[in-house]
Structure 1
């Protein structure tokens, strides 16, 4: 069965490969959106379209954003007119790219109207959509974010910690919505008691230089300004006590990095985005917090880092125990095979319904 799952590959995000592998195992032939109109025969063969991050716009400048927006609108209209079932995974509350956000909002408006199913990875997403439009919320299907167990190799057993310092790690794309400037300022206050590694590259070289300059002046922050190869990632995470993810609550819902941390038996410091609130009773195994503005965010982040530091000083093994419990959770709840089966069920139901309409 031929479907579009877009993007079909992403060298810097294993999420895509994990989903695509499961779909291929179910017999689906995966195609890229760019080839949708390559020929009439190919266009006709596509039974369903599933889009990820389609609402994101290249906002490097206005004309680039405008071109990207119109191209995507043409594709959406073509999918709509073709009658092919459209599935959209809602990854974020709003687009992280703030520069040309109105283009993104228009795309989201039509995605919400025209999609047959909205795949969500957190229950927060459903509540948010219900507050906007109850009709749209009825389209949602909750499917957990796949875990990353075994993806980056075997878990490296950490050496029993003997140093009193708290070792923090941020890994992922370096972008403004991740509040790294604030994180560096907060960590700097702890001096030698806390060490922070920021591992990741920025798409904006100006912003990369800004973060690098701030990190260099902090004294207890190390910047690795490049994409971490898959074979190095597990080792880097193992060296950390806690991953710190000070995301923007206005745009963030899910965190693949948090799921990655849990998959490698690490806990996190993170605001109460959907990935965290979905932990339920296990929220006490992470350092979670809320905030209403930048000042509150800085204070809450400071308190959570201080709490993690105190916990390590009182019981060096406690942080490892928290990570192990989170690993057990994602191993069961975020099982990739189960996720593939759920997507398969959604696809087949939509395609079967479309066939019945045309016969």
Structure 2
């Protein structure tokens, strides 16, 4: 190695150390992708948000139809939304980028997004666990996992001991019992207390406004509504102007950092989502995820989930095994969430490999392109779809 090359490496190392001391952040680039096509406010909104994030030193790559040049900003040109999503997946897989902000992604069952909002009464950040996707087809199991997903996200973003509250929705009490068992078994959960006079960890509507909990646990559909409401209540609903979007998709076996925003999200929210992604990367969220699930498993998470579903599972005469795994890219829509796993099993029985997932508008069954027509016919005949 030449003396000149050694000098450059040493200089780069000292510059990086200096930036860490000054800002707490590494100077090493961790590019964040943003897909621009599909916004209700036009591509210009996405590019403006990317520019805002780039001005703060975040390396942003925008996938869209416009060629915009600026410091820390690169344009990746595509001609359609579909092409943009394919490019996004490709760049994430090849580690050309480390995270992505997009308006749609078909997360598999078991993955859901943890949103972050600014609460109006106190101006505090609150994590909504969760806002899109489905952690489990069993509602209470999903909310238990949502609590862990929320803790992971908050800790990755620097909240060392996040308080956890459960919104007073269907399944809240069963979720409370399960989380208390986890705590008794050694999993460290810091339960929040409602601001209402009777206290407790079950949160009321008032607690949403005041951020009585750092992590607010609920089902994804409720979280989705609340995320929309808390990000656009000052604008009449058509433009999301506050917060950080629907957040990262979190799941035990999901290793891509994909942040979801709405087609109605405006510049502040999209720029916030890009910053949120950078926080997750700097906080090494995958290490946090592995550590939290390791602690939860040691505290009996698996047994608690089995006990929760005991006696509710329908027995089948013959166990259906999955056909050989293959790439699944086509989505079949219109299936009820409670029928989703049965629909997949139905296709397996017919020799078609399929997976369950969650698309932008609801549950989906994912199949290979060559099986799409046959799979639709089978699911139609069996009354899973119309």
Asked if these proteins are the same fold (TM beyond 0.5), I'd say no
TM-score (norm 2): 0.28
More helix by share: 1
